[in-house]
Amino acid sequence: MSQANINISKMNISVVVITYNEESNISECIESLMAQDYKNQYEVIISDGKSKDNTIKIVEKYIKKYGNRLRLIVKEGYSQNQSRNIGIKSAKYDFVAFTDADCIVPKNWLSILAKKYIEHKKNDPSLAGVGGANIPPINTENNFLKAIGIAFDSWIGSLGSIQAKPLDRDKKVFSISCTNSVYNKKKLVDCGMFPNYKQQLSDDWILGLRMKNKNYTLIGLKDSFVWHKMRASPKKFWKNMILYGSVRMHAIKTHFKENSTIYFLPLIFILAMISSLVLFIILKYSIFLLVLAYFPIMFLYSTLLCLKKKKLNLTLSVFLVFLILHFGYSLGELYGLKWFFIKDQ
């Protein structure tokens, strides 16, 4: 197929979903994927790391229902990015889409991705992929999850990440999320696919860097989103922020020049907090307590966000999200300094 002349009537898609112990999520994910209104051919590939729970049995049940539209590949001991690469290699179509097992996709998810890919491909032959945001489920009863959505829908919560805050217009971006994206398969393979790390280490960001080094472009979309269950408790959200901060420091170590200065802000934040409090204890100068103004400022900001969303009852939850987001990610970066003393394999 000539990529220059591709049109939406020929854009068949392989959707790759990676799983490991996702029995509580995989049914809703598969059901939403199989209910797509997409008019062209598409398949769904579940790339599983040999789950220990009932994930594989659940997928096999759906295979009996949907036949070869749904495939299962099981490889024990594979990381997230390695499982995605297995899915890419197994894809039978020229385009590969990604979402996660804890996501539910709208009925027109593939239709929008394909339409937007064709639209932007006409103006940019180097286009490799398009993708959008992931947001909390609209019908969730979990107030903490609702609070995450409110916090992320702000610059202080998202720091400009299209994964967290939906865009107000389509635009070129450095990377797109593995929860909501479609790529040209040949260009995925050409750039080396996802990094072959044994653990989660800025997978989609490094893929974006590889795309950039091949002079390919990626477009973030205004109108594309998936519902993501995220980490629906403070404890799980905290652990996730620690992880994200740590892997960001790994990316800074391995690709220092490619990292925007914005990624250094969390480390500066936590070092300023710690050093100011230490200096106050030692020198007894109250000026060092100015850093504590962060807390009333963030509470006021949380209140204003909730007023705007008409969700004033979620103010404390949004404030808690910001505390976990900022301190968790910052401490994760501090912890991630270990990467500078560990030799990459």
Please report whether residue 240 resides in a domain.
Answer: no
Spatial CA neighbour of 7 closest among 92, 93, 121, 97: 121
Same domain membership, residue 222 and residue 269: no
3-state helix, strand, coil in the chain (%, to 5): 55, 15, 30
Residues 221, 305 within the same domain: no
pLDDT digits (tens, 9 = 90+) for 119-175: 999 999 999 999 999 988 877 889 999 999 899 888 888 776 776 677 889 999 999
Domain around 294: 253-337
Q: Which residues contact 220 (CB under 8 A, 6 or more apart)?
A: 130, 131, 132, 162, 167, 170, 171, 172, 173, 176
46 found inside a domain: yes
- Do 187 and 290 lie in one domain? The reply is no
pLDDT for the residue 196:
81
Instruction: Answer yes or no: are the C-beta atoms of 134 and 147 closer than 8 Å.
Output: no
Kindly report which listed range (15-19, 72-76, 129-133, 254-258) carries the lowest average pLDDT score: 254-258
Q: For the segment 275-334, what is each residue's pLDDT rounded down to a tens digit?
A: 999 999 999 999 999 999 999 999 999 999 999 999 999 999 999 999 999 999 999 999
User: What confidence score (pLDDT) does residue 288 get?
Assistant: 93
Question: Does the structure show a pLDDT above 60 at 3?
Answer: no
pLDDT, position 126:
96
Indicate whether 95 belongs to any domain: yes
Binned at pLDDT 50, 70 and 90, residue 229 comes out as confident
- Give me the CATH number covering residue 173: 3.90.550.10
Q: Is the pTM of this model over 0.85?
A: yes
Element (H, E) at 123: helix 109-123
Confidence of residue 2 (pLDDT cuts 50, 70, 90): very low
Asked whether residue 49 is domain-assigned, the answer is: yes
Higher pLDDT, 229 or 14: 14
Judge if 226 and 277 occupy the same domain. no
Q: How many CA atoms lie within 13 Å of 153's alpha carbon, on the beta-carbon side?
A: 17
Same domain, 126 and 260: no
Looking at the fold, whether 259 and 223 belong to one and the same domain comes out as no
Q: Which residue has the tokens 């899915």?
A: 87
Are 199 and 317 found together in one domain? no
**Which amino acid appears at position 295 of this protein?**
F
Greatest CA separation for the chain: 72
Q: Judge if 226 and 281 occupy the same domain.
A: no
Q: What is the pLDDT of residue 80?
A: 84
- 273 lies in the same domain as 225: no
Domains contained in the chain, number: 2
Asked whether the CA dihedral 255, 203, 206, 151 is positive or negative, the reply is negative
**Residues 58, 154 within the same domain:** yes
Among 8-12, 120-124, 183-187, the minimum mean pLDDT is found in 8-12
Q: Tell whether 226 and 257 lie within a shared domain.
A: no
Inside any domain, residue 107:
yes
pLDDT digits (tens, 9 = 90+) for 49-104: 999 999 999 999 999 999 999 999 999 877 888 899 999 999 999 999 999 999 99
Q: Are residues 74 and 187 in the same domain?
A: yes
